Chains A and B, each alone.
Chain A
Amino acid sequence: AQSVAQPEDQVNVAEGNPLTVKCTYSVSGNPYLFWYVQYPNRGLQFLLKYITGDNLVKGSYGFEAEFNKSQTSFHLKKPSALVSDSALYFCAAPSYNTDKLIFGTGTRLQVFP
Protein backbone atom coordinates (compact mmCIF):
# COMPACT_ATOMS: atom_id res chain seq x y z
CA ALA A 1 0.00 0.00 0.00
CA GLN A 2 1.12 3.56 -0.68
CA SER A 3 2.26 5.45 2.37
CA VAL A 4 4.24 8.47 3.47
CA ALA A 5 5.84 9.02 6.84
CA GLN A 6 6.85 12.19 8.63
CA PRO A 7 9.09 11.10 11.48
CA GLU A 8 9.10 14.42 13.34
CA ASP A 9 6.03 15.86 15.05
CA GLN A 10 7.77 19.21 15.47
CA VAL A 11 10.82 20.99 14.11
CA ASN A 12 12.23 24.08 15.77
CA VAL A 13 14.61 26.41 13.96
CA ALA A 14 15.91 29.92 14.48
CA GLU A 15 15.02 32.59 11.97
CA GLY A 16 17.64 32.86 9.25
CA ASN A 17 18.83 29.28 9.67
CA PRO A 18 18.19 26.58 7.07
CA LEU A 19 15.27 24.26 7.73
CA THR A 20 14.48 20.68 6.77
CA VAL A 21 11.18 18.88 7.23
CA LYS A 22 11.52 15.15 6.59
CA CYS A 23 9.31 12.80 4.59
CA THR A 24 9.87 9.22 3.50
CA TYR A 25 7.64 7.32 1.14
CA SER A 26 6.64 3.81 0.19
CA VAL A 27 4.89 3.72 -3.16
CA SER A 28 4.70 1.34 -6.07
CA GLY A 29 5.67 2.54 -9.50
CA ASN A 30 6.99 6.02 -10.18
CA PRO A 31 6.28 8.19 -7.16
CA TYR A 32 4.31 11.40 -7.34
CA LEU A 33 5.00 13.37 -4.18
CA PHE A 34 3.56 16.57 -2.74
CA TRP A 35 4.10 19.05 0.05
CA TYR A 36 1.28 21.09 1.54
CA VAL A 37 1.34 23.79 4.22
CA GLN A 38 -1.41 24.68 6.68
CA TYR A 39 -1.30 28.05 8.41
CA PRO A 40 -3.37 28.52 11.58
CA ASN A 41 -7.12 28.49 10.96
CA ARG A 42 -6.65 27.92 7.24
CA GLY A 43 -7.02 25.05 4.79
CA LEU A 44 -4.05 23.21 3.35
CA GLN A 45 -2.18 24.99 0.56
CA PHE A 46 -0.19 23.30 -2.18
CA LEU A 47 3.55 24.06 -1.96
CA LEU A 48 5.25 21.88 -4.54
CA LYS A 49 5.21 18.51 -6.25
CA TYR A 50 7.57 15.96 -7.77
CA ILE A 51 6.34 14.10 -10.82
CA THR A 52 9.47 13.35 -12.79
CA GLY A 53 12.66 15.06 -13.89
CA ASP A 54 14.99 17.07 -11.66
CA ASN A 55 15.39 15.69 -8.19
CA LEU A 56 15.34 19.22 -6.75
CA VAL A 57 11.89 20.74 -7.01
CA LYS A 58 11.25 24.41 -6.34
CA GLY A 59 7.96 25.64 -4.98
CA SER A 60 6.16 28.54 -3.37
CA TYR A 61 7.54 30.88 -0.70
CA GLY A 62 11.16 29.90 -1.38
CA PHE A 63 10.70 26.25 -0.44
CA GLU A 64 12.27 23.37 -2.30
CA ALA A 65 12.27 19.62 -1.91
CA GLU A 66 14.81 16.99 -2.80
CA PHE A 67 13.67 13.66 -4.19
CA ASN A 68 16.05 10.84 -3.25
CA LYS A 69 15.12 7.50 -4.76
CA SER A 70 17.77 5.45 -2.96
CA GLN A 71 16.67 6.75 0.43
CA THR A 72 12.97 6.92 -0.55
CA SER A 73 12.85 10.43 0.84
CA PHE A 74 11.35 13.74 -0.21
CA HIS A 75 12.55 16.25 2.36
CA LEU A 76 11.31 19.84 2.33
CA LYS A 77 13.97 22.52 2.65
CA LYS A 78 14.47 26.25 2.79
CA PRO A 79 17.86 27.99 2.97
CA SER A 80 16.77 30.71 5.39
CA ALA A 81 13.72 30.31 7.62
CA LEU A 82 11.26 33.10 8.39
CA VAL A 83 9.04 33.41 11.44
CA SER A 84 6.12 33.49 9.01
CA ASP A 85 7.04 29.96 7.85
CA SER A 86 5.75 28.64 11.18
CA ALA A 87 2.93 26.28 10.21
CA LEU A 88 1.93 22.64 9.86
CA TYR A 89 3.51 20.84 6.89
CA PHE A 90 2.14 17.71 5.22
CA CYS A 91 3.81 15.35 2.80
CA ALA A 92 1.46 13.42 0.48
CA ALA A 93 1.38 10.81 -2.27
CA PRO A 94 -1.47 9.52 -4.44
CA SER A 95 -3.17 6.32 -3.41
CA TYR A 96 -2.58 3.63 -6.04
CA ASN A 97 -4.89 3.93 -9.02
CA THR A 98 -7.20 6.49 -7.42
CA ASP A 99 -7.50 10.26 -7.16
CA LYS A 100 -6.98 10.16 -3.41
CA LEU A 101 -3.95 11.63 -1.69
CA ILE A 102 -2.41 9.84 1.26
CA PHE A 103 -1.22 12.48 3.72
CA GLY A 104 1.47 12.13 6.34
CA THR A 105 0.69 12.94 9.95
CA GLY A 106 2.10 16.43 9.62
CA THR A 107 5.12 18.23 11.07
CA ARG A 108 4.73 21.44 12.99
CA LEU A 109 7.47 23.90 12.09
CA GLN A 110 8.23 26.57 14.65
CA VAL A 111 10.61 29.35 13.62
CA PHE A 112 11.87 31.45 16.50
CA PRO A 113 12.96 35.08 16.10
Chain B
Amino acid sequence: DAGVIQSPRHEVTEMGQEVTLRCKPISGHNSLFWYRQTMMRGLELLIYFNNNVPIDDSGMPEDRFSAKMPNASFSTLKIQPSEPRDSAVYFCASSPSTYEQYFGPGTRLTVT
Protein backbone atom coordinates (compact mmCIF):
# COMPACT_ATOMS: atom_id res chain seq x y z
CA ASP B 1 0.00 0.00 0.00
CA ALA B 2 1.32 3.44 -0.91
CA GLY B 3 0.08 5.00 2.31
CA VAL B 4 -1.70 8.33 2.48
CA ILE B 5 -0.93 10.44 -0.56
CA GLN B 6 -0.95 14.23 -0.47
CA SER B 7 -0.43 16.71 -3.25
CA PRO B 8 1.19 19.04 -3.85
CA ARG B 9 4.12 18.52 -1.47
CA HIS B 10 4.99 22.20 -1.63
CA GLU B 11 2.86 25.17 -2.56
CA VAL B 12 3.93 28.79 -2.76
CA THR B 13 1.22 31.30 -3.52
CA GLU B 14 0.44 34.96 -3.16
CA MET B 15 -1.96 36.41 -0.64
CA GLY B 16 -5.50 36.39 -1.95
CA GLN B 17 -5.10 33.36 -4.18
CA GLU B 18 -7.09 30.18 -3.83
CA VAL B 19 -5.22 27.12 -2.62
CA THR B 20 -6.42 23.53 -2.92
CA LEU B 21 -4.71 20.70 -1.08
CA ARG B 22 -5.49 17.11 -1.99
CA CYS B 23 -5.47 13.84 -0.12
CA LYS B 24 -5.93 10.20 -1.04
CA PRO B 25 -6.46 8.07 2.09
CA ILE B 26 -5.45 4.46 2.50
CA SER B 27 -7.96 2.16 0.85
CA GLY B 28 -10.43 0.71 3.34
CA HIS B 29 -9.94 3.42 5.96
CA ASN B 30 -13.22 5.10 6.82
CA SER B 31 -12.00 8.13 8.77
CA LEU B 32 -10.02 11.04 7.35
CA PHE B 33 -8.44 13.92 9.25
CA TRP B 34 -6.95 17.25 8.20
CA TYR B 35 -4.33 18.81 10.48
CA ARG B 36 -2.23 21.94 10.40
CA GLN B 37 1.19 22.21 12.02
CA THR B 38 3.11 25.40 12.82
CA MET B 39 5.89 26.22 15.23
CA MET B 40 3.67 28.64 17.11
CA ARG B 41 0.50 26.56 17.46
CA GLY B 42 1.81 23.02 17.11
CA LEU B 43 -0.45 20.34 15.64
CA GLU B 44 -4.09 21.36 15.22
CA LEU B 45 -6.99 19.24 14.01
CA LEU B 46 -8.98 21.19 11.44
CA ILE B 47 -11.73 18.76 10.44
CA TYR B 48 -12.45 15.07 10.25
CA PHE B 49 -14.72 12.87 8.18
CA ASN B 50 -16.23 9.48 8.87
CA ASN B 51 -17.56 7.52 5.90
CA ASN B 52 -17.14 10.67 3.79
CA VAL B 53 -19.36 12.75 6.11
CA PRO B 54 -17.87 15.74 8.00
CA ILE B 55 -18.20 14.97 11.71
CA ASP B 56 -16.33 17.78 13.44
CA ASP B 57 -15.17 20.97 11.77
CA SER B 58 -14.74 22.97 14.95
CA GLY B 59 -11.03 23.38 14.25
CA MET B 60 -11.50 25.10 10.91
CA PRO B 61 -10.10 28.60 11.51
CA GLU B 62 -12.67 30.60 9.59
CA ASP B 63 -14.93 30.67 6.57
CA ARG B 64 -11.97 30.96 4.25
CA PHE B 65 -11.30 27.27 4.89
CA SER B 66 -13.47 24.51 3.47
CA ALA B 67 -13.05 20.76 3.10
CA LYS B 68 -14.83 18.14 1.07
CA MET B 69 -14.76 14.40 0.71
CA PRO B 70 -16.76 13.49 -2.39
CA ASN B 71 -15.85 9.80 -2.15
CA ALA B 72 -13.91 7.35 -0.02
CA SER B 73 -10.68 7.84 -1.93
CA PHE B 74 -10.36 11.61 -2.18
CA SER B 75 -10.55 14.73 -0.06
CA THR B 76 -9.68 18.38 -0.57
CA LEU B 77 -8.92 21.26 1.74
CA LYS B 78 -9.44 24.66 0.17
CA ILE B 79 -8.36 28.08 1.36
CA GLN B 80 -9.93 31.05 -0.38
CA PRO B 81 -8.59 33.69 -0.15
CA SER B 82 -5.25 32.67 1.33
CA GLU B 83 -3.38 34.86 3.82
CA PRO B 84 0.25 34.81 5.03
CA ARG B 85 -0.86 33.48 8.44
CA ASP B 86 -2.11 30.34 6.68
CA SER B 87 1.49 29.35 6.00
CA ALA B 88 1.99 25.96 7.64
CA VAL B 89 2.39 22.27 6.94
CA TYR B 90 -0.96 20.63 6.31
CA PHE B 91 -1.29 16.92 7.01
CA CYS B 92 -3.94 14.48 6.00
CA ALA B 93 -4.36 11.26 7.99
CA SER B 94 -6.64 8.27 7.62
CA SER B 95 -7.78 5.65 10.11
CA PRO B 96 -9.48 2.27 9.99
CA SER B 97 -11.52 3.23 13.07
CA THR B 98 -9.13 1.79 15.61
CA TYR B 99 -7.85 5.23 16.62
CA GLU B 100 -4.56 4.47 14.86
CA GLN B 101 -4.03 7.24 12.37
CA TYR B 102 -1.75 7.05 9.35
CA PHE B 103 -0.34 10.38 8.25
CA GLY B 104 0.61 11.54 4.81
CA PRO B 105 3.88 13.37 4.11
CA GLY B 106 2.23 16.77 4.34
CA THR B 107 1.92 19.83 2.13
CA ARG B 108 4.13 22.77 3.01
CA LEU B 109 2.16 25.91 2.19
CA THR B 110 3.81 29.30 1.95
CA VAL B 111 1.63 32.35 1.37
CA THR B 112 3.56 35.52 0.52
Point out residues on A near B: beta carbons under 8 Å: 32, 34, 41-46, 49, 90, 94, 98-101, 103, 105-106
Contact = CB atoms under 8 A, between A and B. Distances in A.
A9 to B, nearest CB: 11
Nearest to B99: A94
Contacts of B99: 32, 34, 49, 94, 99, 101
Contacts, number: 46
Contact of A101 (B101, B105, B106): B101
B43 A43 contact: no
Given A44-B91, A99-B95, A105 B103 contact: no
A94 B55 CA distance: 15
Main DSSP-derived SS at the B contact region: strand
A44 B4 CA distance: 12
Interface in B23-49: 31, 33, 42-43, 45, 48
Given A43-B91, A99-B31, A99-B55, 14 more contacts: A34-B99, A41-B106, A42-B106, A43-B93, A44-B43, A46-B101, A49-B99, A49-B100, A99-B48, A99-B50, A99-B95, A99-B97, A100-B56, A103-B43
B8 to A, nearest CB: 14
B65 interface: no
Contacts of A44: 43, 91, 93, 101, 103
B106 A43 contact: yes
Interface residues on B, range: 20 to 34
B74 interface: no
Contacts of B104: 43
Contacts of B101: 44, 46, 101
Contacts of A41: 106
Nearest to B31: A99
* Most A Cβ at <10 Å: residue of B33, B56, B99, B105: B99
A43 B103 contact: yes
A34 to B, nearest CB: 7
A98 B55 contact: yes
